[in-house]
Structure 1
């Protein structure tokens, strides 16, 4: 069952949902609006090999933002570290950014219980769009779980900003 905005607020205040830097003004009817962090990554490899760490270029946006170009895949991050050991979460674009042709998450929207860190956003655009650090770009919804929870302890634990793929670290698939 999805949590209402008022229930998210209550659970943040009770310490069962973690959002740093929390602002009650960004509570929505069934989600919390999050902001785009200043870190943006993109891959420089002509061909990405799934068994090798990708070469990524990392930039920090300034107050003038950054123009994202079609045909390029970007990794952005959330300004907020978010998550909960008590709830699963799903990440979505907000309507205002999606109607500009900005996609921020199209293949990995699930946050496992216990995964608490800034989220990496999978970003692409339909036309050139200037984005800015601190702009509200998406929303996070929280879901109650049935059964005993298992706390996330994966390869992205401890992330502090946008993170390039770590697929090459999966057991049995090391660098060849």
Structure 2
């Protein structure tokens, strides 16, 4: 069951949904519209290796905006800290962002119960798109869970901003073991 926008507002007041900073005007019928933060990460490796942590370049989005190019993966961040100790969440692009050929969260859109963080956003574009810090970029919806709740405590649980992949920490094998 999805929370309605008015219920999200109620749950923020109760402390059962965290949106910081919270702007009541960003409440939508079944979601909350969140904004793009200030930092973009790009991978600098010519080839990513799932067994090794990737190297990244962090760029602060300048006040004049920044152009994203097709054919690259960008990692951005939500300007807000978002999540809930009670509800699971899903993150999606808003319609206006998607209509510009800009996609976010095309793969990892589930926010586990207990993950209350500035979210790392997967971003790709179909053509060059200028982005701006603080621009509306997506929406978060909150969902009632069924069964005993278990708070997320994975490697991204204490994120304070945009984070690159930690897939390499899932590998306990050496390269020779993979051959």
TM category, shorter: over 0.9
Instruction: Report the CA distance between 1:170 and its aligned residue.
Output: 2.1
Instruction: Report the CA distance between 1:172 and its aligned residue.
Output: 2.5
Contact 1:52–1:175 at 8 Å: present in 2 too? no
Contact 2:64–2:132 at 8 Å: present in 1 too? yes
Aligned positions, number? 176
Q: Does 1:84 align with 2:100?
A: no
Match in the other structure for 1:164: 164
Match in the other structure for 2:127: 127
Q: Where in structure 2 are the equivalents of 1:24-173 lying within 5 Å?
A: 24-170=24-170, 172-173=172-173
Contact 1:87–1:144 at 8 Å: present in 2 too? yes
Contact 2:33–2:136 at 8 Å: present in 1 too? yes
Match in the other structure for 1:16: 16
Contact 2:65–2:131 at 8 Å: present in 1 too? yes
Q: Match of 1:150, SS? A: coil
Deviates more, 1:69-78 or 1:162-171: 162-171
Q: Match of 1:155, SS? A: coil
Contact 2:51–2:171 at 8 Å: present in 1 too? no
Residues 11 and 167 (structure 1), Cα distance of their counterparts in 2 relative to 1, 3 Å cut: same
**Which runs of 5 or more residues in structure 2 are unaligned?**
none
**Which runs of 5 or more residues in structure 1 are unaligned?**
none
TM-score (norm 2): 0.95
Instruction: Report the CA distance between 1:157 and its aligned residue.
Output: 1.5
Instruction: Report the CA distance between 1:160 and its aligned residue.
Output: 1.1
Q: Deviations over 1:89-142 (max 9, x none)?
A: 000000001000000111000000000000000000000000000001000000
1: CA distance between counterparts of 2:174 and 2:20? 34
CA RMSD of aligned residues (A): 1.3
